Amino acid sequence: MAIPVTSILLIAVVITLSTAAYLAESSSDNNRIFSPCTDSTVEKSDGFTFGIVFAARTAFFFNNSVQLSPCDRRLSLSSANSQLSVFRPKVDEISLLTVNSSGFSPDSYGGYMVAFAGRKYAARSIPAFVANSTYTVTSFTLALEFKKGRLQNLYWKRDGCSSCSGKSNFVCLNNQDCALRTSSCKTKGGSVDCSLGIQVAFSGTDKHESVFNSWYEVKNLRQYSLFGLYKNLKDSLTSQYSSFF
């Protein structure tokens, strides 16, 4: 099975939020599907593979009108200026995915990203603005919604810039995204590590109709900041989220 985008994988890391509640429920991953362009149904304790493609906003639309899954060959993302990152968080855990920015500037790949999984049952998020030559957004929250274990939708969740209000190095874009100046990023000669952090959580039901709780938890814990709880998170990344602590 071919993934229709450039095969250079970004250095991507999954950091799982470990709390006693999650550790108690440690069991095995029985999902044998490892490609983001193949359909799967999951149960709690499984891993779930999905992809994020970075490209220009227009690259996600067929004939400038219909947004297709990045797995759909009609988009020909593989010949577009794009980058693919593949993640496999555990279903119903809260994970922080990071895309290391050293050697990767989202603004040079069109500046937008779409999260996706599946083929016949293809689901994709709307394109989210990541970066252009002026601004770079480094912090995102993605909710994956399932029904009977099958992915239905992926949503970028926003909190109206509350996480950066009062922080002078951040700019609030369109009342929804906290952005840094791209010129302050290390890749552009500045001092800030502009690696992306994507917090992922799950909602809906697994294949046994057991309810996923992690999105509910993120939503309710947001005011306390989950970022401080991630183990092993590099200082360079956490320092940018200091407003959360």
Ligand X SMILES: *[C@@H]1O[C@H](CO)[C@@H](O)[C@H](O)[C@H]1NC(C)=O
What does the binding site for ligand X look like in residue numbers (CB under 6 A)? 63, 98, 100, 102, 129, 132-135, 173, 193, 195, 234, 236-237
In the chain, alpha helices (H): 20-24, 214-221, 235-238
Between 98 and 199, whose beta carbon lies closer to ligand X? 98
| Residue 167 or 234 with smaller CB distance to ligand X | 234
Q: How far is the CB of 95 from ligand X (least distance, A)?
A: 15
Which of 27, 134 has the CB closer to ligand X?
A: 134
DSSP 60-91: GEETTTEE--TT-GGG-GGGSS-EEEEE-PBT
Burial (Cβ within 10 Å: 0-12, 13-18, ≥19) of residue 54: buried
Q: How far is the CB of 137 from ligand X (least distance, A)?
A: 9
For residue 63, the minimal CB distance to ligand X (Å) is 4
Question: Which CB atom, from 94 or from 237, has the smaller least distance to ligand X?
Answer: 237
Give the integer Cα–Cα distance in Å for 117 and 152.
Answer: 9
Which phi-psi region, left, alpha or beta, contains residue 118 (left: φ > 0; alpha: ψ -120 to 50)? left
CB-based burial, 6-15: b 16+ in 10 Å, e otherwise: beeebebbbb
Distance in Å, CB of 42 to ligand X, minimum: 28
Report the nearest approach of ligand X to the CB of residue 105 (Å): 13
CA distances 105 to 135, 163, 172, 200, 240, Å, are 12, 23, 20, 22, 17
CB of residue 241 to ligand X, shortest distance in Å? 11
In the bound state with ligand X, the residue whose beta carbon lies nearer, of 19 and 102, is: 102
98 or 141: CB nearest ligand X: 98
**Tokens representing residue 113 in the block:** 């990203």
